[in-house]
Amino acid sequence: MDEPLPSELLPRLDGLPGPARALTSARSAAMVRSIVDAALADPDAPARAEAPARMGWRRALRFAAAILFCFSGAVAPALVRHVKHTVAPRSPVAPPRQPEPRRERKHDLAPPAVEPPRTVAPVPRPMPPAPIVSVPRPNVSPAVEELDVEKAPPEDLLALANERRRVRDWGGADRLYRATSRRFPDSDAAVVAGVASATLHLEQLRDAAGALRDYRQALATRPTGPLAEEARWGIAEAERALGDSAAEALALRDFLAKHPGSALAPAARRRQAELAP
The CATH number of residue 152's host domain is: 1.25.40.10
Residue 212: count other Cβ atoms within 10 Å of its Cβ.
24
Q: How far apart are CA 143 and CA 157, in angstroms?
A: 12
Task: Classify residue 68: in a domain, yes or no.
Answer: yes
pLDDT digits (tens, 9 = 90+) for 234-246: 999 999 999 999 9
Residue 12: count other Cβ atoms within 10 Å of its Cβ.
10
pLDDT of residue 47: 47
State the average pLDDT over residues 10-38: 59
Q: Do 149 and 232 reside in the same domain of the chain?
A: yes
Per the structure, how many domains does the chain have? 2
Task: Classify residue 102: in a domain, yes or no.
Answer: no
pLDDT at 4 over 60: no
Q: Do 147 and 222 reside in the same domain of the chain?
A: yes
pLDDT of residue 254: 97
Task: Classify residue 203: in a domain, yes or no.
Answer: yes
State the average pLDDT over residues 206-227: 94
Task: Classify residue 16: in a domain, yes or no.
Answer: yes
pLDDT digits (tens, 9 = 90+) for 30-88: 765 666 565 555 555 444 444 444 445 555 555 555 555 444 454 445 544 544 554 44
Global pTM value: 0.49
pLDDT at 206 over 80: yes
Residue 211: count other Cβ atoms within 10 Å of its Cβ.
24
Q: Do 149 and 214 reside in the same domain of the chain?
A: yes
Q: Do 79 and 155 reside in the same domain of the chain?
A: no
Task: Classify residue 217: in a domain, yes or no.
Answer: yes
Query: What's the chain's average pLDDT?
Result: 73
pLDDT digits (tens, 9 = 90+) for 144-189: 556 788 999 999 999 999 999 999 999 999 999 999 999 999 899 9
pLDDT at 207 over 70: yes
pLDDT digits (tens, 9 = 90+) for 127-143: 444 333 333 344 444 44
Range of the domain at 199: 142-239
Q: Do 160 and 81 reside in the same domain of the chain?
A: no
Task: Classify residue 257: in a domain, yes or no.
Answer: no
State the average pLDDT over residues 208-232: 95
pLDDT at 213 over 90: yes
Q: Do 152 and 235 reside in the same domain of the chain?
A: yes
